[in-house]
Each structure stands twice: as structure tokens, then as C-alpha cells.
């Protein structure tokens, strides 16, 4: 069947809206809800010998990998190395026995990522591939194929593939943690519960679309935009900045909130909107204090948080975007929605070509 936009103006918008369904579809192959188990579609892959993980990807897929690094280290206590694919091979990476290389790619064809996969294979690494196209080269060459079930993604800027990658990587982190004796049955049950809540939470996040659209005009006039986040919200800040520059051509930078004082703070004035991604939780206070440093310098803040976070720190912001209150495990999936929608509406306000931004390709098959 021909893929069409349905009731949507752009493929990107359609794909943002598909996320509750495709994440649910993806999770179906990784969660055994009746048994409270998180499993992999390849049953006999031996994870207990894995002593180290290397993650390699490009673009948005790389940011999914950055989130996963936090998870693998936190849950499985396995050291994780991560790099963009175009750098990986050229820095003489050390790959020891027992290493698992994880490539993440929507297309499964990105030239740099494929080259990294082949290089790691030659070095004796086991290869896991999180890919959305099951017939792709990476899918064929991997030892462990971990499919995302996002369906065809047409918009050049990746959206639904990203949240599905996060769902798969969370499931892989739980499997690795169990294999390492770091996940009790009760903890595994909790992981199943939290991941199973993701589709409804994504739906709830989408309900704020109109309020995001309403404030897009204030961002559309900016020349530079800064995104800040801590912990797993740091990769989300990077992804938000990438989305905005890809489709609206506004210069945007993502920064670790605590690192802002080592550079970007020099840029802050009333003309640079600062998007702060800060769900309430253990890192909230720290991020808010970075946000206040911005406000003290006249910076205009857009705070993305849940109701409690906005109650606690929303005063004095240019705008706030309210998200449902979710468990930290699924926060990266849920907070992807407002950063995608913000980029989308800013691009629409500017009149750029959302689905086919200039100079970009959906799949980059040259190095
Ligand atoms: C291109 C696309 C991005 C994508 C990146 C990696 O730059 O425009 O949206 O994130 O490639 O693609 P992959 O297919 O490997 O995930």
C-alpha cells in the first residue's frame, strides 16, 4: 500500500502522532506482561558473558544510544563506551573479548555505522543491531537483531524511530541487568510496569500539542536557541537542538545543564530562548538552579516539566510545557514528544520544508 499522510499536513507530524501505537507495537515483542518478564526476540543470545558495551550510531540514533548508556550503567553496572560512527574507527578503539557492540540505526544502511559494525566484528565483538528496517544490511550482519517496529519513517528528521529505539534499548538494559544478576524479579516486574505505561504517557504528552503550537511563534524569530538537560535529559537536549536546526534552520545547541556555566552562559541575553528539560526527580533541583542562572542574566526560559516541577519552578519563565508525571525510566520517551513538536511547529511557522529539509538525506550511505 502507498504510504500517505492521512489527516496530517506532513509526514513528520503523522509520525510524531504514531508514537503511542508504534512504541506499543515495539514493546509487544520485548515484554511478557503475564509473566512480568522483559525478554529479547532472540531467546538464546548469551548476555552474561558481556563485560563491556560499545554503542555506535549517527544523528538521532546516536542520542538514543546516549540515553541507553545511562541505563546500561545504572541497571546492569556494565561499562559503556559510546561514539558517533564517523569517529569510532579512526580513534583506534580498544575492544576486548567479551565486548558487545550495539549499533543503532533507523535505516540499517548508514555508511559510517555499517563500517563501524564491520570493524568491530573483525575485532571479535558480538554485534547487536537496533534497526527499523528488518531487511537492511545491518540487520543481516548482526549477531543479535533487535528490531524496532516503528513502520516506515518518511520524514527526514527521525521521530518515531527514536522513541522505539529507546523502548528496545530499555528492554535490552533490563535483559543485560538480569543476566548480570542485577535485576531481581520484583525489579523486573517494575520495569515491565513502567515500560507498559509508555504508550499512554506518550498519548498524554501529545495532548499538549496546541499549547506548544501556540508558543512556537516566539521561538521562530530567534537566531539561536539553547537546550539544557541533565542525566538522560541531556541527550534529549541534544536531540531537541538537532531537530530544531534540521527542520527550522535555527542555530540550536544542546548542553548538559551543569556545563552551561563553562561557556554558553556567555551567550545568554533576552534574544536567546533557553529550553530547559527537567522532569521532577532527583536531578530537578540542580537543573533548576542552572535555569535560574539563565534567568538572572535576562534569559528567556521555556521550562518543560510535569505539573509539580512547573509549580515549583515555573514562575518567571517565558513559557512552560506541562508533561504527564512519569517514572524516570520512560521520561526520555515522553519528553521526546514536546521537543519534536516544538521543532515541528517552529518550522511550520517559518515555512520551511519540514519533511525534506535542505541539504539533508533520510539515509546517508556515503562516509
Ligand atoms: C540522517 C537522518 C537522521 C538520522 C541519521 C542516522 O542524518 O537525517 O534523521 O538520525 O541519518 O540515520 P540512521 O538510519 O542510521 O538511524
Q: Is the pLDDT of residue 173 over 60?
A: yes
pTM of the model: 0.97
129 lines ligand 1 (CB under 6 A): no
Give CA–CA dist 146/126, Å, rounded: 13
pLDDT of 57: 98
Give CA–CA dist 219/26, Å, rounded: 33
Q: Which helix (H) or strand (E) holds 32?
A: strand 31-32
Give CA–CA dist 205/322, Å, rounded: 8
Is residue 110 helix, strand or coil?
coil
Q: How confident is the model at residue 134 (pLDDT cuts 50, 70, 90)?
A: very high
* Alpha carbon of 59 to ligand 1 centroid (Å): 5
Q: Which helix (H) or strand (E) holds 83?
A: strand 80-84
Task: Choose one of 16, 57, 58, 353 to mutate for the ligand 1 pocket test, by most ligand atoms within 8 angstroms of C-beta.
Answer: 58
Per residue in 45-84, pLDDT (tens digit) is 899 999 999 999 999 999 999 999 999 999 999 999 999 9
Give CA–CA dist 55/229, Å, rounded: 21
19 lines ligand 1 (CB under 6 A): no
Looking at residues 155-180, what average pLDDT do you find? 97
Looking at ligand 1, which atom is closest to the CA of residue 59? 10
362 is known as an active-site residue: yes
Q: How confident is the model at residue 4 (pLDDT cuts 50, 70, 90)?
A: confident
130 lines ligand 1 (CB under 6 A): no
Please name the residue that has the C-alpha cell 555499517: 114
Share of the chain above pLDDT 90, in %: 91
137 lines ligand 1 (CB under 6 A): no
Q: Is the pLDDT of residue 316 over 60?
A: yes
Give CA–CA dist 237/229, Å, rounded: 6
Looking at ligand 1, which atom is closest to the CA of residue 107? 14
Q: Are 269 and 243 a contacting pair, CB within 8 Å? A: no
Task: Choose one of 11, 102, 106 to mutate for the ligand 1 pocket test, by most ligand atoms within 8 angstroms of C-beta.
Answer: 106
Which three cell numbers mark 75? 541497571
pLDDT of 366: 83
Q: Are 137 and 109 a contacting pair, CB within 8 Å? A: yes
Which three cell numbers mark 255? 548542553
Single out the residue of 359, 154, 334, 322 nearest to residue 245, CA to CA. 359
Q: Is the pLDDT of residue 1 over 80?
A: no
Whole-number mean pLDDT of the chain?
Answer: 95
CA angle 295, 299, 302 (to 5 degrees): 85
* Continuous H helices in the chain: 11-17, 19-28, 59-71, 85-88, 111-122, 137-141, 160-179, 185-196, 198-206, 209-220, 233-248, 284-296, 307-313, 331-350
Per residue in 261-279, pLDDT (tens digit) is 998 888 999 999 999 999 9
DSSP 232-262: THHHHHHHHHHHHHHHH--EEEEEEGGGGGG
pLDDT of 2: 62
Single out the residue of 253, 261, 311 nearest to residue 284, CA to CA. 311
Q: How confident is the model at residue 349 (pLDDT cuts 50, 70, 90)?
A: very high
Q: How confident is the model at residue 43 (pLDDT cuts 50, 70, 90)?
A: confident
Looking at residues 13-40, what average pLDDT do you find? 97
pLDDT of 64: 98
pLDDT of 364: 87
Tell me if ipTM is over 0.95.
Answer: yes
Q: Is the pLDDT of residue 247 over 90?
A: yes
Amino acid at each position: 500500500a502507498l504510504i500517505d499522510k492521512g489527516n496530517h499536513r506532513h509526514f513528520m507530524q503523522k509520525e510524531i502522532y504514531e508514537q503511542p501505537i508504534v512504541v506499543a507495537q515495539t514493546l509487544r515483542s520485548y515484554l511478557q506482561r503475564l509473566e512480568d518478564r522483559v525478554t529479547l526476540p532472540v531467546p538464546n543470545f548469551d548476555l552474561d558473558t558481556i563485560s563491556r558495551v560499545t554503542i555506535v550510531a549517527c544523528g538521532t540514533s546516536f542520542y538514543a544510544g546516549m540515553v541507553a548508556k545511562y541505563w546500561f550503567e545504572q541497571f546492569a553496572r556494565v561499562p559503556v563506551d559510546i561514539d558517533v560512527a564517523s569517529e569510532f574507527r579512526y580513534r583506534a578503539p580498544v575492544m576486548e573479548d567479551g565486548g558487545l557492540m550495539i549499533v543503532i540505526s533507523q535505516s540499517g544502511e548508514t555508511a559510517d555505522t555499517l563500517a563501524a559494525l564491520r570493524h568491530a566484528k573483525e575485532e571479535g565483538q558480538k554485534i547487536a543491531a537496533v534497526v527499523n528496517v528488518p531487511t537492511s544490511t545491518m540487520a543481516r550482519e548482526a549477531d543479535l537483531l533487535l528490531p524496532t517496529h516503528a513502520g516506515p519513517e518518511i520524514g527526514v528528521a527521525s521521530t518515531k524511530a527514536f522513541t522505539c529505539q529507546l523502548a528496545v534499548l530499555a528492554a535490552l538494559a533490563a535483559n543485560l541487568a538480569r543476566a548480570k544478576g542485577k535485576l531481581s524479579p520484583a525489579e523486573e516486574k517494575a520495569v515491565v510496569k513502567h515500560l507498559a505505561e509508555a504508550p499512554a504517557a506518550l498519548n498524554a504528552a501529545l495532548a499538549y500539542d496546541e499549547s506548544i503550537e501556540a508558543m512556537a511563534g516566539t521561538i521562530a524569530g530567534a537566531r539561536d536557541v539553547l537546550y539544557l538537560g541533565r542525566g538522560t535529559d541531556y541527550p534529549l537536549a541534544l536531540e531537541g537542538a538537532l531537530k530544531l536546526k534540521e527542520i527550522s534552520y535555527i542555530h540550536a545547541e544542546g548542553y548538559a545543564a551543569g556545563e552551561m556555566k563553562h561557556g554558553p552562559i556567555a551567550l545568554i541575553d533576552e534574544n536567546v530562548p533557553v529550553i530547559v528539560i527537567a522532569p521532577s526527580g532527583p536531578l530537578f533541583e540542580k537543573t533548576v538552579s542552572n535555569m535560574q542562572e539563565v534567568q538572572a542574566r535576562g534569559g528567556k526560559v521555556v521550562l518543560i516539566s510535569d505539573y509539580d516541577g512547573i509549580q515549583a519552578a515555573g514562575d518567571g519563565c517565558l513559557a512552560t510545557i506541562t508533561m504527564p508525571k512519569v517514572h524516570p525510566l520512560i521520561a526520555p520517551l515522553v519528553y521526546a514528544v514536546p521537543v519534536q513538536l516544538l521543532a515541528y511547529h517552529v518550522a511550520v511557522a517559518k515555512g520551511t520544508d519540514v519533511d525534506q529539509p535542505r541539504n539533508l538525506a533520510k539515509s546517508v550511505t556515503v562516509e
